[in-house]
Structure 1
Amino acid sequence: MVDLVFIKDAEGEKEGLTAHTICANMHIMNWDDLRILEVCVRCGSFLKASEELSMSHTSLSRRITKLEDDLKVTLLHRSTAGITLTDIGISIFAQAQEMASAALTVKNTTQNAADMAGKICFETIDATAFNLLKYLGEFSKLYPQIEIDLRLNQNMVNLDRGDADVVLRATNAPPDDYVGYHLADHAFGIFCSTELLNQHPATAPLEDLPWVMFSDGWSDDWLKALNISPKVVMRVNTAHGLVQAVRAGIGVSFLACYGIANDENFVCLRAPRKEWHLQIWLLSHKTIRRNERVKTFVRFLRQKIVNDKDRIEGRIGSPMRSLEPAIR
C-alpha cells in the first residue's frame, strides 16, 4: 500500500499537526469531498463550482467545511474575491487531482469491449455541431444502444478531467497529451448576406461596410492584415451566433465555408486564403483508446468529415464565385 504524503505548513505547525496526523484522519472523510474540492479550486469560487456540479452554493461550502473538520486543517482561504488554497490545501489538492486522473483512467480502460451500450460525451462548438447533426443522427440509427451527449462549448474542455470523451475542435495548436486525427483545414472567407450587399454599391470598399466579429478577438489579426479599419458594429461570443448575425444583414465577417458555402443567403466577398485556415482535430484522451464505443464513434465521424473535406476547405460552393473583381 502506498502512503499518502502531505506537506506540513505553518498552519499545521501552529495547530500541532503532522502528515501522520492528517493521514490518520483520512479514514473518516468522504472521498467525494476531494472531487468537490478539486472543482471549487479550479473554478475559483463556490458560485462557479456550484454551476458545474449542479449543487447549491451553501451545500458546497458546507461540504468543504466538513472536509476541513474531518482532516482538522484549513484548506481554503475565503474572501469576497473568491477562494484560494492554504499551503496544506495545495498539497491535498494535488492529491485530489491525481485521484481524479486515476479514476478516469480506470473508467476508460475497464470498459467491456463487447458491450457497445452506454453514453458518449461529444464536445464541439455550436456551428460545427449543426453541420454534423445529420451524421450524428445516422450514427444513432446504426447504434441505437449508444446515447450521444452533445455538449456545445466555445473553449477547449479538459479531457484529463473527463469533461468529454471526444472533442472536435478547430485549432492550429492541439494539446500534446491527447490522441486524435487532423482531418481537414477549416477555410475562412469574408461573407455577407445578399440583403446587406444590395444596400451598398458594388464598388464599395470593405472598410465602408459594417463588420461583425467574434467576442474574444481571435480573428482580429486577420482583419488587421487587410490594412483596413472598418466599423465593428457587433461582437458575438459563439460561432453559430456570428453566422446568424451575418445572415441577418448586420455586418460582414470571416466565416468558415463549412455549412454556408452553398447557402444562397450568403455572398463571398473574399475567397479563402491559406492564412485564414484552422486545422480540424478529432481528439480523445490517451486512456480512452480501448473504449470500443469511443473507437467506433471516432472512426465513423472521422470518415464523414473526411468525405466533406472539399466543402470544409472551400473548394466547392460560393467561395469559388468570389466577388473580388466587384468589391475592392
Structure 2
Amino acid sequence: SCNTSVKDARVSKRKAAANDEGPKRKNKRRPDLEKTRQSVDALRAEFEAKYKQQDQLGEGGYGTVFGGYRKADNLPVAIKHIAKEKIGCKHVDETGKQLPMEVVIMLKLADKRSRSVRMSAPVSLLEWYDLDQEVILVLERPIPAEDLYDYINHNGGSLEEQEAKIILKQLVDAAIDLEEKKIFHRDIKAEDILIETSSDVLRVRLIDFGVGCFIKRGACYRKLYGTPDFIPEWFSLGRYRAGPTTVWQMGVVLFDTLHSDAAFETTEFLKDRVRISETLSENCQDFLQRCFITDPKQCPTLEQLRTHPWLNNTNTTHRQTDSFMYW
C-alpha cells in the first residue's frame, strides 16, 4: 500500500465537569463550512493572482497538466490539476490530514536537494494549493524541452547509441538519487522523462510522481500502481520490489530509445518473442540483457548498472539501429 502515516494524531479526552461550578467547556464543533469555503476561495484567488494558466499539455489517469507562467516574472510553469477523487496514493501527516503522495515526495525532494545535482533531477515543486475538490501543483517547466517519447519520434523513431548513452547515464544517476532518498517512482518511462535541449549536452529531468511512494527496507508491493507492462514481477509473482522494478524500467527506456517501429512489451519479452538488436555494440547488448534479468534475486543494482562498461566507455560507435521483431 502507498498509504503511510507519520504519526497518529493524539486526541486528549477531557471529562465533563461533575457539577455546575466554574466555567463550562464548550463542546468541539465541526469546522464552519462557510469559513472553509471562504478559505478555499481565497486560495484559488491567490493562485489566479500569481499564475496565468494556458493551453493543456497533457492528461493522465491522475491529473491534467497545463502550461502557464508566473505573472511576477513570466517564469514558465506547469500547472497540474488533480481531482481529489482521483488521488491514488495518499500520505497521512501528523495531524491526520491526507495529502497526495506526489506532494509529499516533491516536498521531500526540495528539502533534501543538494547543491551539486548530478545533471539529472526531478522538476521542482514551486507551490501547491489544497482546494475543495482538487489539488493544484505548480511545477518547474524547463524550456525548451519535450518528453523522451516525442524526442525519439522527432528524431526518426530511434536514437544513435551515443546519444542514448548520454540520456541513460543521467537517468541512472537520477534513479540512484531517488533510491538514496528512499523514493520509488514506480513508473519511469519515456513519457515521464523530459529532455532539455537548451544546450549542446542534453539534460534529463524526471516528472510525474503521482504513483510514487517511500521505500521500506525489503518491502514487497502487492498493490499495482503505474504501468503494468513495466513491472515484470507482477506477472509472475503478483508483487514487486523497488530495486528490480526500477532496473527493468531503465532497460525498457533504453530499448525504446534504440529500437524503432514498436514499443517494448514485457509480456512479449517474457514469452521470448522480443530480441535485442544485434547491430548494437556488445556492451550495449549486455547492458540491456542485465536490465532484463527476470529473477529479481539475480538482478543488478542501480549502482552496478552505473559502473557497467557501456555507460563508462566513451568510444561507442555512432550507429542507428534497426527494428526489433515479434514472432
What is the TM-score normalised by the length of structure 1? 0.23
Greater helix content: 1
Q: Answer with 1 or 2: which has the greater Rg.
A: 1
What is the TM-score normalised by the length of structure 2? 0.23
